[in-house]
Amino acid sequence: MAQNTFYVTTPIYYGTAKPHLGSLYSTLIADVESRWQQLNGKETYFLTGTDEHGQKIMQAAEKVGKTPQEFVDSFIAAYQEAWNTYHIDYSQFIRTTDPRHIQRVQALISKLLAQGDIYKGSYDGWYCTPCETYVTPGGQKENPDCTDCGRPTEKVSEETYFFKLSKYQDKLLEWYKAHPDFVAPKERLNEVKSFVESGLKDLSMSRTTISWGVPFPNDPEHVVYVWVDALCNYITAIGYGDDAEKKQFEKWWPANLQVLGKDIVRFHAVYWPALLMAAELELPKQLLVHGWIQVDSQKMSKSLGNVVDPIELADAYGAEAVRYYLLRKIPVNTDGNFSTGDLEQCITSDLANDLGNLLHRMVSLADRYGRHEIAPVEVWSSKAVHLRDESWNAIEEYKMHMQAHEFHLALARLWKFINKVNAYFHEQEPWKLAKSDPHAFLEVLSATCHSLRIIAALLWPIMPTKMEELLRSLGHTFDIKKESIESLELGTWRQTFLLKKMDTLFQKIEEKPVEETTKSAPEKAPEKKEDYIKIDDVIKVDLRVGTITSAESVPESEKLIKMQVDFGDLGTKQIFAGVRKWYQPEDLLGKQGTFVVNLKPRKMLGQISEGMMLFAEDAAGKLHPVNPEGLVPNGVRLR
Residue 21 or 418 having the CB closest to ligand ME8: 21
The minimum distance between CB 314 and ligand ME8, in angstroms, equals 18
For residue 16, give the nearest of 40, 50, 41 by alpha carbon. Answer: 50
Q: In 10 A of CB 37, how many CB atoms?
A: 23
Residue 335 or 373 having the CB closest to ligand ME8: 335
Residue 108 or 230 having the CB closest to ligand ME8: 230
Residue 190 or 334 having the CB closest to ligand ME8: 334
Q: Phi and psi of 121, rounded to 5°?
A: -155, -155
Residue 25 or 425 having the CB closest to ligand ME8: 25
The minimum distance between CB 94 and ligand ME8, in angstroms, equals 10
Only one of the segments 9-17, 111-119, 187-195, 398-406 lies at the binding site for ligand ME8 (rule: CB under 6 A); that segment is 9-17
Residue 223 or 447 having the CB closest to ligand ME8: 223
3-state secondary structure of 519: helix
Residue 20 or 573 having the CB closest to ligand ME8: 20
CA distance 76 to 82: 10
Site for ligand ME8 in 41-80 (CB under 6 A): 51
The minimum distance between CB 405 and ligand ME8, in angstroms, equals 15
Only one of the segments 5-13, 198-206, 390-398, 531-539 lies at the binding site for ligand ME8 (rule: CB under 6 A); that segment is 5-13
For residue 80, give the nearest of 310, 289, 257, 316 by alpha carbon. Answer: 310
The minimum distance between CB 233 and ligand ME8, in angstroms, equals 6
CA distance 231 to 271: 9
For residue 41, give the nearest of 410, 482, 492, 403 by alpha carbon. Answer: 482
Contacts of 267 (CB under 8 A, 6+ apart): 227, 231
- For the four alpha carbons of 467, 468, 472 and 475, in that order, the dihedral sign comes to positive
Which of 260, 444, 454, 509 forms a contact with ligand ME8 (CB under 6 A)? 260
Contacts of 550 (CB under 8 A, 6+ apart): 563, 564, 589
CA distance 527 to 409: 37
For residue 217, give the nearest of 227, 209, 206 by alpha carbon. Answer: 206
Question: Could you tell me how far CA 264 lies from the centroid of its own chain?
Answer: 20
3-state secondary structure of 116: coil
Site track 379-418 with ligand ME8 (rule: CB under 6 A), x = hit = ----------------------------------------
458 in Cβ contact with 398 (< 8 Å): yes
Only one of the segments 75-83, 259-267, 601-609, 614-622 lies at the binding site for ligand ME8 (rule: CB under 6 A); that segment is 259-267
Site track 10-39 with ligand ME8 (rule: CB under 6 A), x = hit = -xxxx-------xx-xx-------------
Residue 49 or 356 having the CB closest to ligand ME8: 49
- For the four alpha carbons of 576, 581, 587 and 591, in that order, the dihedral sign comes to negative
Characterize the bridge pairing of strands 133-135 and 118-128: antiparallel
DSSP state of 152: B
The minimum distance between CB 129 and ligand ME8, in angstroms, equals 12
Only one of the segments 261-269, 342-350, 361-369, 477-485 lies at the binding site for ligand ME8 (rule: CB under 6 A); that segment is 261-269
Compute the residue count for the chain: 639
Report the half-sphere exposure of 541 (CA within 13 A, side-chain side): 14
Residue 39 or 332 having the CB closest to ligand ME8: 332
The minimum distance between CB 48 and ligand ME8, in angstroms, equals 10
The minimum distance between CB 358 and ligand ME8, in angstroms, equals 33
Q: In 10 A of CB 307, how many CB atoms?
A: 17
Q: By CB under 6 A, is residue 363 in contact with ligand ME8? A: no
Residue nearest to ligand ME8 (CB): 261
Site track 205-244 with ligand ME8 (rule: CB under 6 A), x = hit = -------------------------xx-------------
The minimum distance between CB 14 and ligand ME8, in angstroms, equals 4
DSSP state of 334: S
Residue 264 or 418 having the CB closest to ligand ME8: 264
Residue 26 or 153 having the CB closest to ligand ME8: 26
**H helices, E strands: number in the chain:** 24, 27
The minimum distance between CB 264 and ligand ME8, in angstroms, equals 5
The minimum distance between CB 603 and ligand ME8, in angstroms, equals 32
- For the residues of 462-498, what is the DSSP string, one character each? TSHHHHHHHHHHTT----TTT--HHHHHH--S---EE
* Residues contacting ligand ME8: total by CB under 6 A: 18
Residue 12 or 279 having the CB closest to ligand ME8: 12
Residue 298 or 487 having the CB closest to ligand ME8: 298
For residue 9, give the nearest of 172, 322, 205, 253 by alpha carbon. Answer: 253
Residue 264 or 485 having the CB closest to ligand ME8: 264
For residue 203, give the nearest of 145, 126, 123, 264 by alpha carbon. Answer: 123
Site track 285-314 with ligand ME8 (rule: CB under 6 A), x = hit = -------xx------x--------------
Contacts of 271 (CB under 8 A, 6+ apart): 165, 203, 227, 228, 231
Site for ligand ME8 in 89-128 (CB under 6 A): none
The minimum distance between CB 177 and ligand ME8, in angstroms, equals 25
Binding site for ligand ME8 (CB under 6 A): 11-14, 22-23, 25-26, 51, 230-231, 260-261, 263-264, 292-293, 300
